[in-house]
Amino acid sequence: MNELVLRISDIQLPSSVFTLYIDGSFLSPPSHPASSMAYAWTAIDPDGFILESHYNIISSIFPSALRSEVFALLHGLDSLPRNSKITVTTDCAQLLSLWSLYVDAPFISRMLKESNHLLWSSIRTIMLQKNLDVTLIKVPAHADDPLNNHVDALAKAAHTDSHLSSCPPLELMVPCILQFNSLSVDMNIRKFIRNIFDAKSLLTLAVLPRFNSYSSTSDIDWACTKFCLNNNKHFVSHRNGHSEFCGFRIKLLLDMLPMLTTLQRRKPHLYNPNWLCPQCNSFPETLDHLWTCPYILPEFSPLQTFKTLLLALRTTYLDNFLSASSLIPLLDSFAAEFMALNCWDCDPPSISCLRLTRGLIPISLTEFLGIYFSSPTIWSILDTPLHDFHFDLYVQIWLCRSIFFHHWELAQGITKKMKSSALGPSSIL
């Protein structure tokens, strides 16, 4: 093996290096538009003079503050000559504890579960190949060490230095690299594979015909939809009947609620295909008709209830976004533009309004919000009010309709026994 090919750093420090100050810098939303990682090191000779300093940005894959620190260490060590005996100084305490676990110790397989395990493996390889004798120490807190401040400033400056070009793809020095679409997987591999399978099953769900009935599924923000449906904190609530409610939410999303049109398809011998909505007797009773049924009683009007709940949802969201911290200052027109999004058009409901009602988050909504807010902020704000909106739809529209429907079925002579029979009309007779 030609060791010279496997270099991360193209710098060769003189053998007089005595101490290496290293630092990483990580910027991320909301303070910065996109994640950015940078690192720096400064090499000092025994008399305390600076021999050389170096800083650069690194590709923003697997972004974290720790990764920028580990990379600073890796790059600094790779710039050293063979057989160096040096002290590396850092202000990152986590780096020290990981160093003593994974580098300054025999190999343990637990390292492969660690984020940045490829970087740590490369550090181990460099230490061995170059026969380095390294002592890692931490700059005491509040010591105001001038050299530490210097390297800290360098790492921060790297983010805005327009002369830098992002590092070429990493030449990692590890025996085995798992790649996915040419991305070297530098995180817990089991977790990574789980994420891939989650994404695959979400994709399988997304291409189901039930989501394609009126327009393209690319109009739906699937990641946000999944987040809002999956958020487990709601499922542990001890609300009475909450498991029925959870079932309602999932069936609503999948268009699996037992609407009359569904029953007419499944059991045409019991439900005459010509029957219309039992409430208004004017339209087929589809899922979307639940919210648009023009039936009016003094205490119950589905369309009116729906409009009130949807506009209340819009108001809650708007209040929450106005008080959330945004990436850029909100324009004066923010509130007006938010209210004018077509997912709030409810009379008659637009396609994206009907989708939002099902829990399918329209991409037009998250794209507009994405101008001002990070995805985690958007998702966490959309989540809980949507859950509450669904709970109100469940209680105020679905349960009322179901009680009414039950009495209507009895009036048609459709009994529970007939419904549960899997057989055709002849066997009932």
Is there binding between residue 277 and Zn ion (CB under 5 A)? yes
Cα three-residue angle 237-240-244, rounded to 5 degrees: 90
Contact 56, 38 (CB under 8 A): yes
Is there binding between residue 189 and Zn ion (CB under 5 A)? no
Which of 192, 283 has the CB closer to Zn ion?
283
* Amino acid sitting at position 304: Q
Q: Which structure tokens are listed for 199? A: 């994404």
Which of 90, 279 has the CB closer to Zn ion?
279
> Total binding residues for Zn ion by CB under 5 A?
4
Contact 22, 80 (CB under 8 A): no
User: Among 116, 279, 352, 366, which residue interacts with Zn ion (rule: CB under 5 A)?
Assistant: 279
For residues 97 and 105, give the distance between their C-alpha atoms in angstroms, rounded to a whole number: 11
CB of 283 to Zn ion, least distance (A): 6
Is there binding between residue 259 and Zn ion (CB under 5 A)? no
CB of 273 to Zn ion, least distance (A): 17
Query: How far are the Cα atoms of 78, 115, 165 from residue 170, in angstroms, in the given order?
Result: 13, 16, 14
Q: Which of residues 388-427 bind Zn ion (CB under 5 A)?
A: none
CB of 284 to Zn ion, least distance (A): 9
Which of 90, 292 has the CB closer to Zn ion?
292
Which of 157, 280 has the CB closer to Zn ion?
280
The CB density around residue 230, as the number of other CB atoms within 10 Å, is 12
Q: Which stretch binds Zn ion (CB under 5 A): 208-216, 279-287, 319-327, 349-357?
A: 279-287
CB of 282 to Zn ion, least distance (A): 6
Which of 22, 277 has the CB closer to Zn ion?
277
Which of 96, 280 has the CB closer to Zn ion?
280
* DSSP assignment letter at 139: P
| Residue 310 burial (10 A CB sphere; 0-12, 13-18, 19+) | buried
User: Among 157, 280, 414, 418, which residue interacts with Zn ion (rule: CB under 5 A)?
Assistant: 280
Beta-strand pair 36-44/19-27: antiparallel
| Torsion 352-355-356-362 (CA) sign | negative
Hey, is 136 helix, strand or coil? strand
Could you check whether the bond before residue 298 is cis, i.e. omega within 30 degrees of 0? no
Q: Which stretch binds Zn ion (CB under 5 A): 229-237, 250-258, 269-277, 394-402?
A: 269-277
CB of 291 to Zn ion, least distance (A): 10
Paired with 208 in beta bridges are none
* Amino acid sitting at position 284: P
Is there binding between residue 343 and Zn ion (CB under 5 A)? no
Is there binding between residue 293 and Zn ion (CB under 5 A)? yes
Contact 80, 11 (CB under 8 A): no
Which of 117, 401 has the CB closer to Zn ion?
401
CB of 62 to Zn ion, least distance (A): 52
Q: Which structure tokens are listed for 29? A: 């939303």
Q: Which stretch binds Zn ion (CB under 5 A): 71-79, 293-301, 356-364, 368-376?
A: 293-301
Which of 76, 278 has the CB closer to Zn ion?
278
Is there binding between residue 303 and Zn ion (CB under 5 A)? no
Hey, is 54 helix, strand or coil? strand
Q: Which structure tokens are listed for 70? A: 């580990």
Q: Which stretch binds Zn ion (CB under 5 A): 95-103, 285-293, 360-368, 375-383?
A: 285-293
Which of 79, 279 has the CB closer to Zn ion?
279
Hey, is 391 helix, strand or coil? helix
The CB density around residue 271, as the number of other CB atoms within 10 Å, is 19
Residues within the interface to Zn ion (CB under 5 A): 277, 279-280, 293
